[in-house]
């Protein structure tokens, strides 16, 4: 692996199961899978730092063929989700845990590895810690997808939970990506422009907010939009990963307004085909020079094959007995691979809405610290009825005495 790239990505690749209209299929996934291909096809040099089961590293071959350099840490299992889409526009989904590859330890990242932009794009909370975020922010501007900090494994469920370190963490972020559901639940605002302003108040210079009809960008006090107009949703999975990487990649040479437009075009095309964006732009709908410039598309497939460095960490390097490929009893593997992640609600100073979204079942579970007030309500109701009965009795006695 080289030491410097246009964009360097950190996060797990995924071995996902997608369920749409009761149709099920297995698919590689994760932002490092969908997003690195986008960046490379935009003509950028790309490095990926990831983690997973060594027997699943064959999923990375298509990225290597594009000229992407990869450092892959071997783990007991690969991360993965069962994604069950719940709405016609595929805006809402239930996510179930299908495996977790563990933390990417800070001490395992070479000190001289950097880029023009570092993208932190985890898929599950626990992949990247706050100290790692802070250290990487010293090397380059950070683009961060909040998904991998608020999507918390609890048994086999993946539930939305507050990011306990959000206030400190966002101080070190330049580009913050959230989707509609995350923005609403983190800020309590259904008005997405207001939600973007609130999130920007924590430190990020630019907010990239995705939803089914397009991307909303908030930068320098202004809003910019890139509409999504796909003719089909065959490639809906990976939409957010495609959007944030195309935006950040474009921002290296374009304004926020231009980058939002490029992200809208690229994400539209990606949603029409399963798998990473293949680099095509429909000239009947879009001007390809907006995305590629006058030079035309970059032929990533003709690139020299990228390098794959496989790292097998020892217990000494990670300080954990379950490092690398250490065996884990089959019966306890699922539980032992799930990170301990208990939000400290006293540290959270941002608003969490009391409401829940009926279209998003993964957000319906009770949050830590919530109390059950039903017994108190019944006690108060009974007391009120007793007082009312006593008043009625007194009134009856009064009327009898008058006669």
pLDDT of residue 17: 83
Residue 310 has what DSSP assignment?
Answer: E
Residue 175 has what DSSP assignment?
Answer: E
Task: Look up the pTM and report it.
Answer: 0.77
Supply the Cα-derived Rg of the chain in whole angstroms: 25
Helix (H) or strand (E) holding 28: strand 23-29
pLDDT of residue 381: 67
Phi/psi at 208 (nearest 5 deg)?
A: -115, 110
> Could you give the CA distance from residue 400 to residue 397 in angstroms, rounded to a whole number?
5
4 touches 44 (CB < 8 A) = no
> Could you give the CA distance from residue 317 to residue 126 in angstroms, rounded to a whole number?
18
253 touches 290 (CB < 8 A) = no
CA distances from 373 to 188, 344, 378 (A): 22, 22, 9
109 touches 143 (CB < 8 A) = no
Percent helix / strand / coil, the chain, rounded to 5: 35, 25, 40
pLDDT of residue 5: 98
pLDDT of residue 98: 86
pLDDT of residue 337: 35
pLDDT of residue 79: 95
CA distances from 264 to 166, 176, 228, 247, 400 (A): 28, 17, 5, 9, 80
CA distances from 58 to 38, 173, 204, 209, 238 (A): 19, 32, 36, 32, 19
pLDDT of residue 20: 73
Phi/psi at 36 (nearest 5 deg)?
A: -65, -35
> Could you give the CA distance from residue 5 to residue 19 in angstroms, rounded to a whole number?
36
Per-residue pLDDT of the chain (403 residues), as tens digits, is 788 999 999 999 999 887 877 778 778 999 999 999 999 999 999 999 999 999 999 999 999 999 999 999 999 999 988 878 765 555 566 778 889 999 999 999 999 999 999 999 999 999 999 999 999 999 999 999 999 999 998 988 888 999 999 999 999 999 999 999 999 999 999 999 999 999 999 999 999 999 999 999 999 999 999 999 999 998 988 999 999 999 999 999 999 999 999 999 999 999 999 999 999 999 999 999 999 998 888 888 788 999 999 999 865 555 443 433 333 223 223 333 333 333 333 333 333 333 333 333 333 233 333 344 445 555 666 777 777 777 777 777 767 666 6
């Amino acid at each position: 692996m080289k030491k410097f790239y246009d964009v360097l990505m950190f996060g797990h690749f995924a071995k996902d199961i997608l369920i749409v209209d009761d149709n099920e299929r297995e698919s590689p996934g994760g932002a490092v899978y969908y997003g690195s291909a986008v960046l490379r096809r935009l003509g950028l040099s790309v490095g990926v730092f990831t983690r997973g089961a060594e027997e699943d590293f064959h999923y990375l071959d298509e990225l290597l063929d594009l000229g992407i350099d990869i450092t892959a840490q071997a783990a007991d299992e690969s991360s993965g989700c069962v994604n069950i889409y719940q709405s016609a526009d595929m805006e809402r989904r239930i996510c179930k845990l299908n495996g977790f590859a563990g933390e990417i330890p800070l001490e395992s990242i070479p000190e001289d590895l950097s880029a023009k932009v570092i993208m932190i794009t985890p898929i599950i909370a626990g992949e990247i810690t706050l100290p790692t975020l802070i250290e990487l922010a010293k090397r380059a501007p950070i683009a961060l997808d909040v998904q991998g900090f608020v999507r918390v494994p609890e048994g086999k469920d993946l539930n939305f939970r507050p990011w306990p370190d959000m206030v400190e963490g966002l101080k070190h972020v330049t580009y913050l990506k959230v989707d509609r559901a995350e923005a609403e639940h983190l800020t309590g605002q259904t008005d997405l422009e207001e939600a973007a302003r609130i999130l920007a108040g924590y430190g990020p210079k630019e907010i990239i907010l995705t939803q089914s009809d397009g991307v909303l960008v908030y930068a320098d006090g202004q809003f910019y939009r890139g509409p999504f107009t796909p003719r089909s949703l065959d490639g809906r999975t990976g939409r957010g990963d495609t959007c944030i990487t195309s935006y950040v990649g474009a921002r290296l040479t374009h304004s926020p307004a231009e980058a939002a437009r490029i992200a809208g075009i690229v994400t539209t095309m990606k949603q029409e085909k399963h798998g990473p964006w293949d680099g095509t732009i429909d000239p009947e709908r879009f001007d390809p020079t907006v995305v590629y410039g006058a030079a035309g598309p970059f032929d990533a497939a003709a690139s020299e094959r990228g390098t794959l460095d496989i790292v097998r960490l020892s217990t000494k390097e990670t300080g954990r007995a379950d490092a690398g490929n250490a065996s884990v009893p089959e019966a306890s593997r699922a539980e032992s691979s799930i990170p301990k992640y208990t939000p400290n609600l006293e540290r959270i100073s941002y608003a969490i809405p009391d409401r829940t979204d009926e279209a998003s079942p993964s957000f319906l579970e009770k949050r830590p610290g919530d109390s059950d007030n039903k017994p108190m309500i019944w006690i108060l109701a009974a007391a009120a009825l007793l007082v009312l009965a006593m008043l009625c009795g007194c009134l009856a006695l009064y009327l009898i005495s008058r006669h």
